[in-house]
Amino acid sequence: MSTTISNPEMRTGATFRNWSGSVSTSPSAFYYPATIEEVQHIVRTLPAGRSVRTVGGGHSFTPVAAGADAMISLDKLAGIVRIDPETKRVRFLAGTRLHRIPEYLQPFGLALANQGDIDVQSVAGAISTSTHGTGIEWTGFAGTVTGLSLIDASGDRRDYSIDTDPDALRLVTVSLGALGVIVEVEMQCVDAFDLLAEEGAESLDTVLDTWEERSRAVDHYEAFWFPHTGRAMVKSNTRLAPGAPAPGGEPKVRGRFTRFIEDDLIGNGAFAAALAVARAVPRATPKLNGIAAGAMAANRYRSRAHDVFATPRRVRFHEMEFAVPLEAGPEAVREIRREMDRRNWLIPFPLELRTTAADDVALSTSTGRESMYIAFHVPKAMNPHEFFPPIQDVLHAAGGRPHWGKMHTLGRADFAEMYPRFDEFCALREQMDPTRKFGSEHLKQLFG
Ligand SMILES: Cc1cc2nc3c(=O)[nH]c(=O)nc-3n(C[C@H](O)[C@H](O)[C@H](O)COP(=O)(O)OP(=O)(O)OC[C@H]3O[C@@H](n4cnc5c(N)ncnc54)[C@H](O)[C@@H]3O)c2cc1C
């Protein structure tokens, strides 16, 4: 039986630029398939010797999604395929953006188990780079994947499920688009919940001395340390069933307007102004960081989980982040502090500190161990290559694994030591894509 496949939308002359502006490329063709059959058609009809890369939200800091030949966006392949209210497993089309998910799940009383600090990524992009939030009891997105379907280099569909072959699923979940085009992702969701957020400033020493203890005591614990100061802003988010009373009394409910004032006007707006001053007068950086840390007033509010987890990020920056074994994390932060002092750097951006549970996803940055995530940023106007290598050395020496979507210069030999199943992944890639239909220069650095 033959079926007619419509030609997918194709644009030429388009430029792909990532969120931070560090990656810019003009693929010969940019495809926007609206069906899985169209994805298969693109892969099958790709001229010999050409490669194709799939992009999600374009929010990675490296060329991990970029390609000079063809690129595919799954923006038209978005929405829910299936919801199982009993198991709370939800199957999404892979191009679904995270910020659309709450409205899809609300009628079913479900939610994503945990989230990072933004929600503009696609489902496939988030799992493919091991994107994570914070919370010692919760894994990153990849750890919640219970099923996945991808289109391989022959254009055939391959389905993976945790019920039939968990090892195979765990091997292909974090794959950076190197094995094929992911078209569907099934995730383990949870009952919808609220978060009680409590924010305030504390001494960095206290935060580091109590990191593990506090991470275990609070559902979602995170801190932002302002370099050249001894202060950090801490955020403790407690999960509450909708309607359940908040311990310590009911706080204000965070409305849209409050959110705009706090996140956009005060957060992003004031921060952008401070960065502009720091750029004009770098010597003022420690003082400005001190003012920023001091200005973090204690804050307590409650909202639906996704409203608290994710906030807009309007100030552009470059980022490096490593997952360090939980117990080694606080000392690694202290070493970064000493390194910055030794080099007399002036860094106007806070470091972000988070934790996650261990998982068993082969290339997850938390595979096999609880992690402390340490993220180092510089504003877009600063040259990341001047600052990131020494920080990478510190974090690598502490046993850290770099975030797959953030800046680093490590390669195959390093990863073979970090990930017990790395060679198995490379062998699978060899078998599934021997001609590198899904290859790129960046993937060559990572996987050979
Ligand atoms: C402001 C900002 C905040 C961030 N916050 C966090 C955070 O809190 N936690 C965290 O862990 N990370 C964070 N990140 C990093 C971000 O989550 C990851 O880089 C993520 O991969 C981006 O998702 P995306 O949809 O934009 O994917 P892209 O960057 O477009 O792609 C990422 C990878 O996924 C692959 N891919 C995408 N779609 C498919 C598909 N359908 N099939 C196969 N492969 C595919 C691409 O080829 C590429 O290898 C942040 C980034 C920014 C810019």
- At 385-404, the pLDDT tens digits run 999 999 999 999 999 999 99
Residues contacting ligand 1 via CB (< 6 Å): 19, 53-60, 64-65, 74, 94, 116-118, 121-122, 124-126, 128-129, 131-132, 176-177, 181-182, 313, 403, 405
Note every long-range contact of 76-80, with CB atoms under 8 Å and residues 24 or more positions apart, other chains counting.
76/9, 76/32, 76/33, 76/34, 77/33, 77/34, 77/35, 77/36, 77/39, 77/183, 78/122, 79/104, 80/104
CA 145/CA 127 separation, integer angstroms: 8
How many residues comprise the chain? Answer: 448
Q: What contacts 5, CB < 8 A, 6 or more positions away?
A: 35, 37, 38, 40, 41
Given a cut of 80, whether residue 2 has pLDDT beyond it is no
Here the tokens at position 106 are 């609300």
Q: Give tens-digit pLDDT for 89-100.
A: 999 999 999 999
CA 238/CA 217 separation, integer angstroms: 10
Is 161 within 8 Å of 87 (Cβ atoms)?
A: no
Given a cut of 60, whether residue 202 has pLDDT beyond it is yes
Given a cut of 90, whether residue 277 has pLDDT beyond it is no
Q: Give tens-digit pLDDT for 227-260.
A: 999 999 999 999 999 999 999 999 977 766 666 6
Given a cut of 70, whether residue 10 has pLDDT beyond it is yes
CA 334/CA 446 separation, integer angstroms: 29
State percent of the chain over pLDDT 90: 85
Residue 320 phi, psi (nearest 5): -125, 135
Q: Give tens-digit pLDDT for 28-71.
A: 999 999 999 999 999 999 999 999 999 999 999 999 999 879 99
Confidence band, pLDDT 50/70/90 cuts, at residue 1 = very low
C-alpha 51 – ligand 1 centre gap (Å): 20
Q: What pLDDT sits at residue 266?
A: 61
Residue matched to tokens 């060329």: 63
Q: What contacts 300, CB < 8 A, 6 or more positions away?
A: 196, 197, 198, 199, 251, 252
Is 178 within 8 Å of 92 (Cβ atoms)?
A: no
Q: What is the mean pLDDT of the chain?
A: 94
Q: Give tens-digit pLDDT for 403-422.
A: 999 999 999 999 999 999 99
C-alpha 324 – ligand 1 centre gap (Å): 20
CA dihedral angle for residue 184, residue 119, residue 126, residue 435, rounded to 10 degrees: 80
Q: What pLDDT sits at residue 252?
A: 78
R_g over Cα of the chain: 22
**Mean pLDDT, residues 441-446:** 96
> Directed axis angle between helix 329-342 and helix 384-397, to 10°?
140
Q: What pLDDT sits at residue 293?
A: 72
Q: Give tens-digit pLDDT for 258-269.
A: 666 667 666 776
CA 11/CA 13 separation, integer angstroms: 7
Here the tokens at position 425 are 């992944």
Which ligand 1 atom minimizes the distance to the CA of 373?
11
**Closest by Cα among 200, 267, 232 to 354:** 232
Which ligand 1 atom minimizes the distance to the CA of 60?
19
- pTM of full prediction above 0.85: yes
Here the tokens at position 177 are 């688009």
Q: What pLDDT sits at residue 283?
A: 84
Q: What pLDDT sits at residue 120?
A: 97
CA 58/CA 310 separation, integer angstroms: 17
Instruction: Cite the beta strand spans of 130-270 per DSSP E.
Output: 145-151, 157-161, 181-188, 190-191, 194-203, 220-225, 231-240, 252-253
User: Which residue's C-alpha comes closest to atom 3 of ligand 1?
Assistant: 118
